[in-house]
C-alpha cells in the first residue's frame, strides 16, 4: 500500500548552522512523537551530509532539491545524482516549478534527471502542476498529463513504482492560496487514473501523490483526508519545526 509522506522543501533558505539546528529540532520532535507518515527534509546540497547525521533515518529521510541531467564531467556548478547518493540522501525533488520557471528545466531534461536518480537508487519526488492561466483555461488536466507522459512514461512499471509524485499548482506555491480539498482530490484522482491507464491499477494504487502549495497546519488535515492525497510537499511551513510538525500531525 502506498506511503503517506510529508516532505519539506527548504528552497534556498538557512545557513549550514541554521539548517542543522532545524533538522535537529524536527528530529527531536518526531523521535518524541512518532509520526504516522514518512517525513523528509529537502535541504540545500551543502546541508545534506550533516543533515543525514543529525536525524534518525528511521524517522526522517533527507532529500536534495535537484540533481544534474548528466552523469559527470565538465558541468561547473552541477551536482550529479551519484554525488547526491554519496551524501546519504535517499530522495531528490525533481521538476519543482521554480526550477522549471527560473532554470529552464523541461520535461526532456527531467526525463534524464529521473533516470539518473533511479539509477543511483534515489527516490524522485517528481513535481507537476499548472500555472494560473492554464487552470483558468481548464487546461490543468492536460498540463499534468503531458508533464507525466513526457518525463516519466518511458519508465517500466517497476521503475515507475519507485517514483513519488507531487502535484503542486504553481498558483498556490508561496502565495497563501491553496487548492480547495475538492480541487486537490479531483486532480489527484485524475493523476492516479492516468497512472492506472499506463501501468495498471496496482502501480497506480501504490503511488504516493503529494499535494503542494501553501499547505499549513490549519489546512493539512482537510487536504490529506482526501482518498487520493497521500501527504504534502511543504515550502514555507517547513522552515519552522513547530509549523512543520503541525502538518505532520495531520496524519
**Which listed residue (96, 140, 188, 245) is catalytic?**
96
Specify the stretch interacting with ligand PEP by CB under 6 A; choose among 54-62, 66-74, 138-146, 166-174: 166-174
87 lines the binding site for ligand PEP (CB under 6 A): no
236 lines the binding site for ligand PEP (CB under 6 A): yes
- CB nearer to ligand PEP: pick between 118 and 223: 223
Start-to-end CA distance of the chain, whole Å, equals: 16
96 assigned to active site: yes
C-alpha cell at 184: 486537490
233 lines the binding site for ligand PEP (CB under 6 A): yes
Specify the stretch interacting with ligand PEP by CB under 6 A; choose among 59-67, 180-188, 191-199, 208-216: 208-216
C-alpha cell at 103: 532554470
Q: Shortest gap between Cβ of 7 and ligand PEP (angstroms)?
A: 9
235 lines the binding site for ligand PEP (CB under 6 A): yes
- CB nearer to ligand PEP: pick between 174 and 200: 174
**Which listed residue (98, 105, 130, 168) is catalytic?**
168
247 lines the binding site for ligand PEP (CB under 6 A): no
Q: Say what angle helices 241-248 and 16-32 make with each other, to 10 degrees.
A: 40
User: SS3 string of 164-217?
Assistant: EEEECCHHHCCCCCCCCHHHHHHHHHHHHHHHHHHHCHHHHHHCCEEEECCCCH
117/60 Cα distance (integer angstroms): 19
206/175 Cα distance (integer angstroms): 31
231 lines the binding site for ligand PEP (CB under 6 A): no
154 assigned to active site: no
Q: Residue 13 carries which DSSP code?
A: -
Instruction: With H, G, I as helix, E, B as strand and everything else as coil, classify residue 9.
Output: strand
223 lines the binding site for ligand PEP (CB under 6 A): no
Binding site for ligand PEP (CB under 6 A): 9, 168, 173-174, 212-215, 233-237
Q: Which positions are annotated as active-site residues?
A: 96, 168
Amino acid at each position: 500500500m502506498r506511503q503517506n509522506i510529508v516532505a519539506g522543501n527548504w528552497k534556498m533558505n538557512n545557513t549550514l548552522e541554521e539548517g542543522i539546528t532545524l533538522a535537529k529540532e524536527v528530529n527531536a520532535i518526531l523521535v518524541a512523537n512518532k509520526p504516522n507518515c514518512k517525513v523528509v527534509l529537502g535541504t540545500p546540497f551543502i546541508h545534506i551530509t550533516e543533515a543525514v547525521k543529525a536525524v534518525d533515518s528511521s524517522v526522517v529521510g533527507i532529500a536534495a532539491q535537484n540533481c544534474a541531467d548528466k552523469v559527470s564531467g565538465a558541468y561547473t556548478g552541477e551536482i550529479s545524482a551519484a554525488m547526491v547518493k554519496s551524501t546519504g540522501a535517499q530522495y531528490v525533488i525533481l521538476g519543482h516549478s521554480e526550477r522549471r520557471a527560473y532554470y529552464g528545466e523541461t520535461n526532456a531534461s527531467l526525463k534524464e534527471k529521473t533516470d539518473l536518480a533511479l539509477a543511483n537508487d534515489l527516490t524522485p519526488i517528481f513535481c507537476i502542476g499548472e500555472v494560473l492561466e492554464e487552470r483558468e483555461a481548464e487546461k490543468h488536466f492536460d498540463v499534468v498529463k503531458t508533464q507525466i507522459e513526457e518525463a516519466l512514461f518511458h519508465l517500466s512499471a517497476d521503475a515507475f513504482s519507485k517514483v513519488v509524485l507531487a502535484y503542486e499548482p504553481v498558483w498556490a506555491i508561496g502565495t497563501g492560496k491553496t487548492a480547495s480539498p475538492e480541487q486537490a482530490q479531483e486532480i489527484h484522482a485524475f493523476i492516479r487514473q492516468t497512472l492506472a491507464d499506463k501501468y495498471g491499477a496496482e502501480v497506480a494504487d501504490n503511488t504516493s501523490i503529494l499535494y503542494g502549495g501553501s499547505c499549513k497546519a490549519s489546512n493539512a488535515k482537510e487536504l490529506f483526508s482526501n482518498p487520493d492525497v497521500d501527504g504534502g510537499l511543504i515550502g514555507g511551513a517547513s522552515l519552522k519545526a513547530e509549523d512543520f510538525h503541525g502538518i505532520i500531525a495531520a496524519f
